[in-house]
Amino acid sequence: MEAGEPSRTAMMAATARGLHRLEEARPWLFDDFLGLVLVGPAWRDIRTELTAALSEPILRIVSTMSATRARYSEERLSVGGFDQYVLLGAGLDSFAWRRPDALAGGLRVFEVDHPASQAWKLARVEELGLPSSDRHLFVPVDFEVETLDLALDRAGFDWSGRTFFSWLGVQPYLTVEATEATLRSLAKSHPGSEIVLSYLIAPPLMEDIGRTFHERWVDIAAKVGEPVQTALTPEEAEALVRRCGLDVAEHPTRDDVEARFFAGRSDDLVPITFEQFLVAAVPG
Protein backbone atom coordinates (compact mmCIF):
# COMPACT_ATOMS: atom_id res chain seq x y z
CA MET A 1 0.00 0.00 0.00
CA GLU A 2 1.29 3.45 -0.91
CA ALA A 3 1.30 6.18 1.75
CA GLY A 4 -2.00 8.04 1.61
CA GLU A 5 -3.63 5.34 -0.52
CA PRO A 6 -6.28 3.13 1.08
CA SER A 7 -6.32 -0.64 0.52
CA ARG A 8 -7.89 -1.38 -2.84
CA THR A 9 -8.36 -5.03 -1.80
CA ALA A 10 -10.47 -3.80 1.13
CA MET A 11 -12.70 -1.94 -1.31
CA MET A 12 -12.90 -5.06 -3.46
CA ALA A 13 -13.86 -7.24 -0.48
CA ALA A 14 -16.61 -4.84 0.62
CA THR A 15 -17.86 -4.56 -2.97
CA ALA A 16 -17.96 -8.36 -3.17
CA ARG A 17 -20.03 -8.60 0.03
CA GLY A 18 -22.37 -5.93 -1.27
CA LEU A 19 -22.75 -7.66 -4.64
CA HIS A 20 -23.70 -10.91 -2.92
CA ARG A 21 -26.86 -9.33 -1.47
CA LEU A 22 -27.50 -7.23 -4.57
CA GLU A 23 -27.28 -10.03 -7.13
CA GLU A 24 -28.22 -13.28 -5.36
CA ALA A 25 -31.65 -14.47 -4.32
CA ARG A 26 -32.32 -14.91 -0.61
CA PRO A 27 -31.35 -16.46 1.67
CA TRP A 28 -28.09 -14.49 1.60
CA LEU A 29 -25.14 -16.00 3.35
CA PHE A 30 -24.55 -12.59 4.90
CA ASP A 31 -26.40 -9.30 4.67
CA ASP A 32 -23.81 -6.52 4.50
CA PHE A 33 -26.23 -3.79 3.54
CA LEU A 34 -23.53 -1.16 4.13
CA GLY A 35 -20.78 -2.73 1.99
CA LEU A 36 -21.47 -0.78 -1.21
CA VAL A 37 -22.41 2.34 0.75
CA LEU A 38 -19.02 2.43 2.46
CA VAL A 39 -17.16 1.89 -0.82
CA GLY A 40 -19.18 4.67 -2.43
CA PRO A 41 -19.79 5.19 -6.17
CA ALA A 42 -16.46 3.49 -6.97
CA TRP A 43 -18.13 0.11 -6.41
CA ARG A 44 -19.43 0.18 -9.99
CA ASP A 45 -15.94 0.60 -11.44
CA ILE A 46 -14.61 -2.08 -9.10
CA ARG A 47 -17.34 -4.43 -10.28
CA THR A 48 -16.43 -3.72 -13.90
CA GLU A 49 -12.70 -4.20 -13.25
CA LEU A 50 -13.22 -7.45 -11.36
CA THR A 51 -15.61 -8.84 -13.97
CA ALA A 52 -13.02 -8.13 -16.68
CA ALA A 53 -10.17 -9.63 -14.69
CA LEU A 54 -11.96 -12.63 -13.20
CA SER A 55 -15.06 -13.32 -15.36
CA GLU A 56 -18.66 -12.99 -14.18
CA PRO A 57 -18.99 -16.54 -12.75
CA ILE A 58 -15.77 -16.29 -10.73
CA LEU A 59 -16.70 -12.87 -9.35
CA ARG A 60 -20.00 -14.39 -8.23
CA ILE A 61 -18.17 -17.15 -6.38
CA VAL A 62 -15.72 -14.67 -4.85
CA SER A 63 -18.63 -12.57 -3.60
CA THR A 64 -20.01 -15.72 -2.01
CA MET A 65 -16.64 -16.38 -0.40
CA SER A 66 -16.43 -12.86 1.07
CA ALA A 67 -19.95 -13.18 2.46
CA THR A 68 -19.22 -16.64 3.89
CA ARG A 69 -16.15 -15.58 5.83
CA ALA A 70 -18.00 -12.66 7.41
CA ARG A 71 -20.86 -15.02 8.33
CA TYR A 72 -18.50 -17.59 9.81
CA SER A 73 -16.73 -15.01 11.93
CA GLU A 74 -19.78 -13.12 13.18
CA GLU A 75 -21.59 -16.36 14.09
CA ARG A 76 -18.61 -17.37 16.22
CA LEU A 77 -18.56 -13.91 17.81
CA SER A 78 -22.28 -14.03 18.60
CA VAL A 79 -22.15 -17.26 20.62
CA GLY A 80 -18.99 -16.52 22.59
CA GLY A 81 -20.09 -13.98 25.21
CA PHE A 82 -17.09 -11.76 24.50
CA ASP A 83 -16.36 -8.33 26.06
CA GLN A 84 -14.30 -6.96 23.17
CA TYR A 85 -14.20 -7.45 19.41
CA VAL A 86 -10.99 -6.57 17.59
CA LEU A 87 -11.10 -6.52 13.80
CA LEU A 88 -7.55 -6.88 12.49
CA GLY A 89 -7.21 -5.38 9.02
CA ALA A 90 -10.84 -4.24 9.34
CA GLY A 91 -11.03 -2.74 5.86
CA LEU A 92 -14.57 -1.54 5.16
CA ASP A 93 -16.20 -3.86 7.67
CA SER A 94 -19.54 -2.45 8.82
CA PHE A 95 -20.25 -4.48 11.99
CA ALA A 96 -20.33 -1.48 14.33
CA TRP A 97 -23.08 0.21 12.28
CA ARG A 98 -25.03 -2.94 11.44
CA ARG A 99 -25.07 -4.13 15.04
CA PRO A 100 -25.60 -1.13 17.33
CA ASP A 101 -27.40 -3.61 19.62
CA ALA A 102 -24.08 -5.37 20.29
CA LEU A 103 -22.39 -2.10 21.28
CA ALA A 104 -25.37 -1.07 23.38
CA GLY A 105 -25.08 -4.44 25.12
CA GLY A 106 -21.56 -3.53 26.25
CA LEU A 107 -19.31 -4.94 23.49
CA ARG A 108 -16.28 -2.73 22.75
CA VAL A 109 -15.21 -2.79 19.11
CA PHE A 110 -11.66 -1.99 18.01
CA GLU A 111 -11.00 -1.55 14.31
CA VAL A 112 -7.31 -2.11 13.66
CA ASP A 113 -6.01 -1.33 10.19
CA HIS A 114 -3.14 0.05 8.19
CA PRO A 115 -3.02 3.83 8.80
CA ALA A 116 -3.65 4.66 5.12
CA SER A 117 -6.73 2.43 4.91
CA GLN A 118 -8.11 3.63 8.21
CA ALA A 119 -7.70 7.32 7.40
CA TRP A 120 -9.69 6.79 4.19
CA LYS A 121 -12.43 4.90 6.02
CA LEU A 122 -12.72 7.53 8.74
CA ALA A 123 -13.10 10.27 6.12
CA ARG A 124 -15.75 8.20 4.36
CA VAL A 125 -17.62 7.57 7.63
CA GLU A 126 -17.60 11.30 8.31
CA GLU A 127 -18.83 12.05 4.80
CA LEU A 128 -21.70 9.58 5.21
CA GLY A 129 -22.58 10.90 8.64
CA LEU A 130 -22.45 7.45 10.21
CA PRO A 131 -22.72 7.55 14.00
CA SER A 132 -19.75 7.24 16.35
CA SER A 133 -19.67 5.60 19.76
CA ASP A 134 -17.22 5.60 22.65
CA ARG A 135 -17.40 1.80 22.40
CA HIS A 136 -16.14 1.90 18.80
CA LEU A 137 -12.44 2.67 18.57
CA PHE A 138 -10.03 3.00 15.64
CA VAL A 139 -6.43 1.85 16.00
CA PRO A 140 -3.98 2.55 13.17
CA VAL A 141 -1.25 -0.13 12.92
CA ASP A 142 1.09 -1.42 10.25
CA PHE A 143 1.57 -5.07 11.23
CA GLU A 144 4.92 -5.10 9.43
CA VAL A 145 6.39 -2.35 11.61
CA GLU A 146 4.57 -2.31 14.96
CA THR A 147 3.38 -4.99 17.34
CA LEU A 148 -0.33 -5.25 18.01
CA ASP A 149 -0.03 -5.22 21.81
CA LEU A 150 1.58 -1.75 21.88
CA ALA A 151 -1.08 -0.36 19.56
CA LEU A 152 -3.91 -1.89 21.60
CA ASP A 153 -2.38 -0.50 24.80
CA ARG A 154 -2.50 2.97 23.26
CA ALA A 155 -6.19 2.50 22.43
CA GLY A 156 -7.24 1.47 25.95
CA PHE A 157 -7.69 -2.24 25.23
CA ASP A 158 -8.54 -4.25 28.36
CA TRP A 159 -6.23 -7.28 28.55
CA SER A 160 -8.43 -8.79 31.28
CA GLY A 161 -11.50 -8.89 29.01
CA ARG A 162 -12.45 -11.96 26.95
CA THR A 163 -11.84 -10.87 23.39
CA PHE A 164 -12.79 -12.05 19.93
CA PHE A 165 -10.30 -11.17 17.21
CA SER A 166 -11.11 -11.50 13.53
CA TRP A 167 -8.41 -11.45 10.87
CA LEU A 168 -10.14 -11.99 7.57
CA GLY A 169 -8.48 -11.70 4.19
CA VAL A 170 -5.34 -10.08 5.63
CA GLN A 171 -2.80 -12.82 6.36
CA PRO A 172 -2.04 -13.52 2.65
CA TYR A 173 -0.68 -9.96 2.28
CA LEU A 174 1.66 -10.20 5.25
CA THR A 175 5.01 -11.83 5.83
CA VAL A 176 5.09 -14.87 8.12
CA GLU A 177 7.13 -12.74 10.56
CA ALA A 178 4.39 -10.08 10.84
CA THR A 179 1.71 -12.77 11.15
CA GLU A 180 3.65 -14.44 13.93
CA ALA A 181 4.32 -11.18 15.81
CA THR A 182 0.60 -10.34 15.69
CA LEU A 183 -0.46 -13.79 16.89
CA ARG A 184 2.06 -13.66 19.75
CA SER A 185 0.65 -10.26 20.77
CA LEU A 186 -2.93 -11.44 20.93
CA ALA A 187 -1.94 -14.68 22.67
CA LYS A 188 -1.40 -12.45 25.75
CA SER A 189 -5.16 -11.86 25.93
CA HIS A 190 -7.40 -13.25 28.64
CA PRO A 191 -7.83 -17.07 28.54
CA GLY A 192 -10.80 -18.04 26.39
CA SER A 193 -10.18 -15.20 23.95
CA GLU A 194 -10.34 -16.37 20.35
CA ILE A 195 -9.16 -15.44 16.90
CA VAL A 196 -10.76 -16.43 13.63
CA LEU A 197 -8.42 -16.00 10.76
CA SER A 198 -8.61 -16.81 7.09
CA TYR A 199 -5.39 -17.87 5.41
CA LEU A 200 -4.56 -18.57 1.80
CA ILE A 201 -4.29 -22.30 1.32
CA ALA A 202 -1.13 -23.51 -0.44
CA PRO A 203 -1.88 -23.42 -4.21
CA PRO A 204 -1.20 -27.16 -4.83
CA LEU A 205 -4.13 -27.88 -2.47
CA MET A 206 -6.55 -25.61 -4.35
CA GLU A 207 -9.14 -27.16 -6.61
CA ASP A 208 -10.46 -26.02 -10.00
CA ILE A 209 -12.08 -22.62 -9.53
CA GLY A 210 -9.97 -21.83 -6.47
CA ARG A 211 -6.80 -22.32 -8.54
CA THR A 212 -8.08 -20.23 -11.45
CA PHE A 213 -9.14 -17.46 -9.07
CA HIS A 214 -5.75 -17.62 -7.34
CA GLU A 215 -3.84 -17.24 -10.64
CA ARG A 216 -5.86 -14.16 -11.54
CA TRP A 217 -5.95 -12.72 -8.02
CA VAL A 218 -2.15 -12.78 -7.68
CA ASP A 219 -1.96 -10.42 -10.68
CA ILE A 220 -4.77 -8.16 -9.47
CA ALA A 221 -3.31 -7.84 -5.96
CA ALA A 222 0.17 -7.07 -7.29
CA LYS A 223 -1.22 -4.39 -9.63
CA VAL A 224 -2.96 -2.59 -6.74
CA GLY A 225 0.23 -2.67 -4.65
CA GLU A 226 -0.85 -5.39 -2.19
CA PRO A 227 1.07 -8.44 -3.40
CA VAL A 228 0.18 -11.87 -2.07
CA GLN A 229 3.05 -12.93 0.16
CA THR A 230 2.08 -16.03 2.13
CA ALA A 231 0.17 -19.25 1.62
CA LEU A 232 0.06 -22.13 4.10
CA THR A 233 -0.89 -25.78 4.22
CA PRO A 234 -3.41 -26.61 6.98
CA GLU A 235 -0.58 -28.30 8.92
CA GLU A 236 1.59 -25.17 8.64
CA ALA A 237 -1.31 -22.97 9.77
CA GLU A 238 -1.89 -25.11 12.86
CA ALA A 239 1.84 -25.24 13.67
CA LEU A 240 1.99 -21.44 13.31
CA VAL A 241 -0.78 -20.69 15.79
CA ARG A 242 0.53 -23.31 18.25
CA ARG A 243 4.06 -21.94 18.26
CA CYS A 244 2.55 -18.51 19.02
CA GLY A 245 0.92 -19.92 22.18
CA LEU A 246 -2.62 -20.59 20.90
CA ASP A 247 -4.75 -23.75 20.77
CA VAL A 248 -6.56 -24.79 17.59
CA ALA A 249 -10.30 -24.64 18.39
CA GLU A 250 -11.85 -25.20 14.94
CA HIS A 251 -10.38 -25.70 11.49
CA PRO A 252 -13.13 -26.52 9.00
CA THR A 253 -12.45 -27.94 5.55
CA ARG A 254 -14.21 -26.67 2.42
CA ASP A 255 -16.64 -29.60 2.76
CA ASP A 256 -17.40 -28.65 6.39
CA VAL A 257 -18.18 -25.11 5.28
CA GLU A 258 -20.42 -26.38 2.50
CA ALA A 259 -22.34 -28.67 4.87
CA ARG A 260 -22.77 -25.90 7.43
CA PHE A 261 -23.74 -22.93 5.29
CA PHE A 262 -24.79 -24.19 1.85
CA ALA A 263 -26.87 -27.32 2.52
CA GLY A 264 -30.39 -27.01 1.17
CA ARG A 265 -29.74 -24.01 -1.07
CA SER A 266 -31.80 -24.08 -4.24
CA ASP A 267 -29.13 -22.19 -6.25
CA ASP A 268 -25.72 -23.43 -7.38
CA LEU A 269 -23.58 -21.48 -4.90
CA VAL A 270 -20.74 -23.43 -3.26
CA PRO A 271 -17.59 -22.52 -1.36
CA ILE A 272 -14.23 -22.78 -3.14
CA THR A 273 -10.89 -24.10 -2.00
CA PHE A 274 -8.93 -20.86 -1.82
CA GLU A 275 -8.82 -19.53 1.73
CA GLN A 276 -9.42 -21.62 4.81
CA PHE A 277 -10.75 -20.57 8.23
CA LEU A 278 -9.02 -21.37 11.49
CA VAL A 279 -10.21 -20.53 14.99
CA ALA A 280 -7.49 -20.42 17.65
CA ALA A 281 -8.01 -19.84 21.36
CA VAL A 282 -5.92 -18.47 24.21
CA PRO A 283 -5.43 -21.48 26.52
CA GLY A 284 -7.06 -21.40 29.96
**Do 8 and 226 form a contact (C-beta atoms < 8 A)?**
yes
Kindly report the backbone phi and psi dihedral angles of residue 126, in degrees, each rounded to the nearest multiple of 5, phi listed first: -65, -45
Residue placing its CB nearer to ligand SAM in the complex, 121 or 135: 121
Q: What letter represents residue 134's amino acid?
A: D
CB of 178 to ligand SAM, least distance (A): 6
Q: What's the rounded Cα separation, in Å, for the pair 116 and 250?
A: 32
Report the b/e string of 160-184 with b at 16+ CB within 10 A. eebbbbbbbbbbbbbeeebbebbbb
Query: Which chain residues interact with ligand SAM by CB under 6 A?
Result: 7, 9-10, 13-14, 89-91, 93, 113-114, 117, 141-144, 168-170, 173-174
Amino acid, res. 121? K
Q: Are 124 and 91 in contact (CB under 8 A)?
A: no
- The residue with its CB nearest to ligand SAM is 91
Minimum distance from residue 160 beta carbon to ligand SAM (Å): 25
For residues 88 and 241, which CB has a smaller minimum distance to ligand SAM in the complex? 88
Considering the complex, what minimum distance in angstroms separates the CB of residue 190 from ligand SAM?
Answer: 23
The answer to whether the CB of 193 falls within 8 A of the CB of 246 is: no
Nearer to ligand SAM, 177 or 207 (CB): 177
Nearer to ligand SAM, 112 or 269 (CB): 112
Which residues is 109 bridged to in the sheet?
85, 136
Q: Give 103 or 148: the residue with its C-beta nearer to ligand SAM.
A: 148
Nearest distance in Å: CB 36, ligand SAM: 13
Please provide residue 31's backbone torsions phi and psi, each rounded to the nearest 5 degrees.
-110, 80
Least spacing, CB of residue 8 vs ligand SAM, in Å = 9
